[in-house]
Structures are given as C-alpha cells and as structure tokens.
Structure 1
Amino acid sequence: MRISYLIHNFGKSGGSIVLYNFMDNLVKRGYEVYAITPTKSYKWEIGMWKELISKENSVSHLNLKNIIKKTVYNRIKNYNQVKKFKTLYNLNKITKGLIENWIPSDITISTYCFTAYAGYYLSNRTVSLYHMQHFEEVFFQDYMDRMIARNTYYLPLLKISNSSWLKNIMKKYFNEETYLLNPGIDLNIFTYNPNFMDKYKEKKEWNIVSFFDETREWKGFSDAVQAVKKAREILEDKGYKINWRVFGSNPPTKVYDTQFEYVGQLFHKDLANFYAQSDIVLLTSWYESFPLPPIEAMATGSLIISTQYGVEDYLVDGFNGLVTLPRKIKDITDKIIWAIENPEGVSRIVRQGIETAKDYSWEKRTDVLEQIFNDAIKSYSYNNKTRLFDDLVNGKFKEYMYDEFSL
C-alpha cells in the first residue's frame, strides 16, 4: 500500500517528530511511504528525517530573499493589507505545490491546516485523511490565519485527533466525529535508571525542571514562576531548597521574580537525561493536545506536575502524576509542596507513571494507525457530488443532469 504524507516543511517540533516516527514505522511494516512538500516529494526511508530537519534548520538554508522581504514588509504603511495578501499567496503556493508533487497513493494524509486544502483537492483520487495534532487556530493571532485553520475542520475529510481533548473539541464545536490516535514515545531513549527510586526519600534539596517559553503566553511559564516562587517562600522556612532548571528554544530576555537556570534546547537522549536527573517535572500550559514532555518524563522515572487540558489520555491526578487546572497558582504551589513533603507517596505515583508510559511505544501506536487505515478504506466514500459541476465547467450537459436540476 502506498501512503503519502502532505507536509508543510521538515520542522523539528514534537508534532513533526511524531509524524516522522509514524512514517518510519510504516516503512518497517512494508508500506511505501512518501513525504510530499510544496517543493519536492521524497520516498521515505527509515531515519531520513534526522538529516532533513538538520538541512531545514541550518543557517546556510536561510533564504536571504525572504529575510529582505520581511524587513521591507514591516516598513510598509499598509502592512496588514500586505500581510493578508501574503497569507493567501502562501496558502495558494503551498496547496499548488503539494498537488503538483503528490504521488498517486491509496491513502493521503494532511498533517497541518495549511496542507488540508490540498488533501481536500485530492479527495476524489485517494482516501484522504487529516491528522490533526492540535487545535491549530490557537497558534495564530492574525484573524485570517485563524480562519484558514478553522475552516479546515469543516472540510469533508476523515479526521484523526491526537488527543481526547481535541476529539472533544471537534465534536462539541464542529459536530465532527474523529478517529483517536495518540502519539508514541521512544522507550529506548526515554527510559528510567534502575536506581531511580533513590531520589525519592526524605531530603532537603529538590530539583524541578520545566519547559521555558516566554513568547507564547498559553504555555503558562509565568504561572510556573509564581508557583515556584511561592513554594520556595513556604518551604524555605522548613529548611527545603528548590533548584529550578528550564529548557527551551530561546533564552530569557527579561528578569523573573524567582531564579532559574536556562540550559538551552534539548532533544532525544539529552532531554531524557535532563528529565531523569530531576525530581519533579513541572508543566503549566493552559491547554495542550497530548503534549509529549509529561509522558516522556514519566517514562524516565520522574514525578509529573501538570495542568489539565490535553493530558487526559495518560495522566490521572494522584495515580500516575499530579494534575491541577491551569492558571490555579495556589493549587500548583500546593502540589509542589505536597510532593516535596511526601516522598513516599511520590514514589508510588512515579512507579505507576512508568507503567503507564509502556503503553505508548511506537509499535502500539502504529497498530492503532493501521486499524484506522483499514477502517477508512472500508468506509471511504469518494465524493462524486462535484461531478455535476465538473461536467458543466467542461461544457457538458448529460442525461443525469435533468434529475439533478429538478426542484
């Protein structure tokens, strides 16, 4: 079976890496897989994404022409009007490029809102799926970008949600039933030290780690700052010390109300070691859609304190992690304090977290994806409703049209 993935570009975010791992595992199982981009098609080989993302993100790959354009656009008086034109131009360019480079396939999978329109265009020629990895409208501030994302949820494509949170949004706000496909994690990389329980004992110094992002407010880092500051104030009087280290794409640009160490951008084994060396992994986003850091950190044998929305598939408060509602600073603070003062209870939670993570191997997740493929092929209905319009545009008037036009 031939499968084509419609990809905007070769990014290195968690969502992109999820796709690459699914593609790798499909090739391992004998599928013929292609990555279709707006500029080129690639016959997929296992692990090739590591070189592709390196090229995509290298300094030499930066397009000087685009940098100059951006500088000029920012100086134009009617920049907002120019930006709207640029957005539509880019959408058209991406859609045309994907269609032109598409390899005829049994199944074609859109992977991002800006690729879904090409998926719809091809839906009469292939089983067209839309693998959604977040509610992408929230990524954009510009209203036109938001509408481009939102309108893809109305397209007549078979949709896949990566989390129960997203699946619920699709049903509640768009009346769309979707498949559920949780991502996997590499359990050979995100694994625990045999002596991981040694860190959960009575002690006065605790290590917390978090994801750092000051540009996207919804990532909730300012909430983490407030919670850690308050926890430090309360626990300091009891003789406890909290060390806080954070990782992320970009370093801090301002001074915060409590101290932390920024360690840079981490991936794969470096990230796994970072989690494993911590006592608590604190994540305070307002909303996510199956975020990888909590489940990856669970697999390394560390306690997760996370906010609620998007982690429902794998994280249960008091069972395999500690969960609060987002933006509830006192609740987050209380969870930190409870964990530090109750290492025996934490050790029980951490053990269960490791067991939970075992259900998210790539093998098990790819089994689910194959089940979705089989069901989609059986239930797919090629859209012949547009045959009328196609014939009219091509100057044809056929017998069936009398019934079509009757009132």
Structure 2
Amino acid sequence: MKIEALVGDHSWFKNLRAEVIYKPLNLNTVGSIVYAFYKFYRYVILRSAKRNPYDTFLLISSKLGVRPDIIIELAELIRSFDSDVTVATYHLTAFSVWFSQNKNPFYLMQDFPEMVEENEGKLSLNMFYHSLKLPFSFITVSSYAKQLIVENNPLAKVTIAHPGVDLNIFRPRRTNSRNQKKRVMVILRGVRFKGDEVALEVLKNVNKKVPIHVVFVGGKSLVRHYSKTIGLDFEYLVFSNVSDEVLAELYSSSDVLLFTSYAESFGLPPLEAMACGTPVVMTDNKGSRDYAIDGFNALISQPGYVKSLSDNLLKMIQDDKVRERMIENGLETAKKFTWAKTVESFEKALKETN
C-alpha cells in the first residue's frame, strides 16, 4: 500500500506499514518564505489564540501568487500512479482525485461544516459542500456524516466505517488518587465548536456546590489564556501532548469525562472514556449519536446548554447508582467499536468496486 501526501510527516503514527510518498510544495523563494512563516505562525500562535492562521496565510499568499493547496499538482502526481483505488481524505484533495481521473475514486469524508468554516473560512466551506457532490463512492465515520453526504448527493453510495477503540490500551485501570475531590476530565482544543468556554462555565458552576479537581488535557498556554479571560476558580492540573497510554490512564483516574462539543463527525473521546470505565457527561453533537444514548451510557444535554450540563455533571458525581449504570453500559458499548470492525467495513467498501 502507498500513501501520497502533500509534504508533512507521519512519523508520529506508530507502526505505519504503508509507504508514504510526499509531494513537495512547488514554491518559489517568496512562496517558501511565506509558507515557512505560516508554519511558524501556526506552531506559536494557534495553541492559544482564537485567530485563524490559515486565513492569514491565505491573505498573504493571495497577494504573492502562492497556491497553498496545489490541487492540480497533486492531481498530476496521482495520475502518475497505477492504483486500484484512489482515496481522498480531505475536501480539497477530493478535487485532486477527481481531476486525476484515476479509476475507482473514493472519498473518506470525516469533516463537518462547523469545523471547516471555523478552521478555514466560508470559501473553504463552500468547497467542502461542492466536494460532497463529486461522483465518488464515499466512506464516512457516522450516520450524521452520511446524512451530510446524502443531503448534497442523494445518489451517492456511502459506507459507514465507525472509528474504533484499541481496547488493549483504553481499558479500566487501577489508579490511586490522593485527592479526595471528584476528578473531572476535560479535553481543551481552543476552537469554538469544541465548546471549551461552555465546559469551563459548567466546571465553575459545579465547583460552587461540590469542590472538584479538574484534569485538563490540552495546551498549557491555552489554559493560561482561559485563566486570564474566564477565570478558573477550581483546582486543576494540565497534561499536554499525551500518548494514548497516558490518555487512558487519565480517563481511568477521573470520576467523569465532560465533553461539550457543539458538533463532531463522530466524537471519539467519550467512547474512549467508556472503554476505560469512566462515565460521561456530554452534548448531543450529532456525530456521537451512533453510540451515545442518554440515560443508558451517558448523560446528554443540548450543545451550549450550561445549566443542563451542570445538573448532569452534579448528578453523575453525586448519584452512585447512576454512575454505576453509566459505567457498566459504557463498557459494553465500547466493545462494539473496534478497529478490526473499522478495517472490515473499509475493506468491504473497497472490494465492492471490483
């Protein structure tokens, strides 16, 4: 198997068996400087600022004539390979796959409108919707994502391959916490659709009634930003750049996961928490409906509804019977979502083209 990618580095993905062929950016001296500026800006600023570096890069690059997506160049590279199937994994590269006219084009669609617009702006959002109209076979991650595709492309053939959980890593672990306060875990991302500010308001509300200890997973600079702008009047620790092993330990050491996204294509953290025996308080973010059931394996509120989330978090902390029911049913739910099943669904979709 071979993977073609626009620059980048996949060394972070352990045990990757596929050969990765990188397409370098074909930039002149000015373009190279602009791209270097973009990478530096993204590395330094993105973790704490709410401004979008991609918009800044697009503005500068448009003035200097740099094409950051190089759709056509990638299409030419794709055309040079004799592949059995060609799979796009991003809405811009979907156009590259289409322009290449290679046989059996597929589109692994994992995005959703809120993420695309916030990260890349309205122009990219329009391109995202247009990419869903391409005459491809689609593989996607949830019923919600499938609905997005079918709404824009009613005749599309769509296979759902849910993301999986590695149950060898994400499993209940014995942890010894000396802190007598209830531990609430929150993953912070610094983008609006993740609902960071909602989570922080919920934590502040609950802490007034039951003192809590919060486990933040996210950038330390982002937490400092929230501490200055919102105020964090509860006890907390911050963990950054954690491995799956450490993430699983943090889930297991927490009494509850609070997950407050406005939208997700699937939303994997609540399922990982369930696999670790950690009960979940979360929002109905659309993508998680394939596994999250209110009152069965999670307590679920509407996105942005601070009072309901606060009430549910208090209930999960204080009602042992509810907690135990959520834990038991969550563990059973997680067993149904394995990477083996993901691969099986993916392979079946690819084989049906031949």
For Structure 1 versus Structure 2, the TM-score category normalised by the shorter chain is: 0.7 to 0.9
Give, as a single letter, the amino acid of the residue that structure 1 aligns with 2:200.
Answer: V
Match of 1:388 in 2: none
Q: Secondary structure at the match of 1:376?
A: coil
Q: 1:203-254, CA deviations, whole angstroms, 9 ceiling, x for partnerless residues?
A: 972100101123x111101001111111222x2xxxx321112111452224
Looking at structure 2, the residues matched to 335 and 269 of structure 1 have their Cα atoms a distance apart, in angstroms, of: 28
Out of 87, 93, 118, the position equivalent to 1:115 is: 93
Give, as a single letter, the amino acid of the residue that structure 1 aligns with 2:144.
Answer: W
Q: Decide whether the 8 Å contact of 2:169 with 2:245 is kept in 1.
A: yes
Match of 2:320 in 1: 343
Q: Report 1:5-404 matches (<5 A).
A: 5-8=3-6, 10=8, 34-39=19-24, 66-68=35-37, 82-84=60-62, 89-91=67-69, 93-97=70-74, 99-100=76-77, 103-123=81-101, 125-135=102-112, 137-175=116-154, 177=156, 178-193=158-173, 205-214=181-190, 216-233=191-208, 235=209, 240-249=210-219, 251=221, 252=223, 253-254=225-226, 255=228, 256-258=230-232, 259=234, 260-309=236-285, 310-377=287-354
| CA 306–11 in structure 1, closer or farther in 2 if over 3 Å, else same | farther
Give, as a single letter, the amino acid of the residue that structure 2 aligns with 1:358.
Answer: K
Give, as a single letter, the amino acid of the residue that structure 2 aligns with 1:219.
Answer: K
Q: Decide whether the 8 Å contact of 2:216 with 2:237 is kept in 1.
A: yes
Q: Secondary structure at the match of 2:186?
A: strand
TM-score where L is the length of structure 1: 0.70
Looking at structure 1, the residues matched to 127 and 220 of structure 2 have their Cα atoms a distance apart, in angstroms, of: 28
Residue 190 (structure 1) shift: 0.9
Q: Decide whether the 8 Å contact of 2:38 with 2:57 is kept in 1.
A: no
Give, as a single letter, the amino acid of the residue that structure 1 aligns with 2:324.
Answer: S
Q: Decide whether the 8 Å contact of 2:34 with 2:61 is kept in 1.
A: no
Residues matched between the structures, number: 321
Give, as a single letter, the amino acid of the residue that structure 2 aligns with 1:243.
Answer: H
Give, as a single letter, the amino acid of the residue that structure 2 aligns with 1:229.
Answer: K
Give, as a single letter, the amino acid of the residue that structure 2 aligns with 1:183.
Answer: P
Give, as a single letter, the amino acid of the residue that structure 2 aligns with 1:181.
Answer: A
Q: Which blocks of at least 5 consecutive residues in structure 2 are unaligned?
A: 26-31, 42-55
Q: Decide whether the 8 Å contact of 2:202 with 2:310 is kept in 1.
A: yes
TM-score where L is the length of structure 2: 0.80
Looking at structure 2, the residues matched to 71 and 301 of structure 1 have their Cα atoms a distance apart, in angstroms, of: 39
Q: Secondary structure at the match of 2:199?
A: helix
Looking at structure 2, the residues matched to 371 and 100 of structure 1 have their Cα atoms a distance apart, in angstroms, of: 27
Residue 147 (structure 1) shift: 2.7
Residue 171 (structure 1) shift: 2.0
Give, as a single letter, the amino acid of the residue that structure 1 aligns with 2:164.
Answer: G
RMSD of aligned alpha carbons:
3.2
Give, as a single letter, the amino acid of the residue that structure 1 aligns with 2:151.
Answer: K
| CA 339–176 in structure 1, closer or farther in 2 if over 3 Å, else same | farther
Q: Decide whether the 8 Å contact of 2:165 with 2:339 is kept in 1.
A: yes
Q: Secondary structure at the match of 1:104?
A: coil
Q: Decide whether the 8 Å contact of 2:257 with 2:280 is kept in 1.
A: yes
Q: Identity rate of aligned residues, in percent?
A: 23
| CA 89–328 in structure 1, closer or farther in 2 if over 3 Å, else same | same
Q: Decide whether the 8 Å contact of 1:210 with 1:282 is kept in 2.
A: yes
Q: Which blocks of at least 5 consecutive residues in structure 1 are unaligned?
A: 28-32, 41-62, 73-77, 378-407
Looking at structure 2, the residues matched to 169 and 376 of structure 1 have their Cα atoms a distance apart, in angstroms, of: 22
Give, as a single letter, the amino acid of the residue that structure 2 aligns with 1:286.
Answer: Y
Higher Cα Rg, which structure = 1
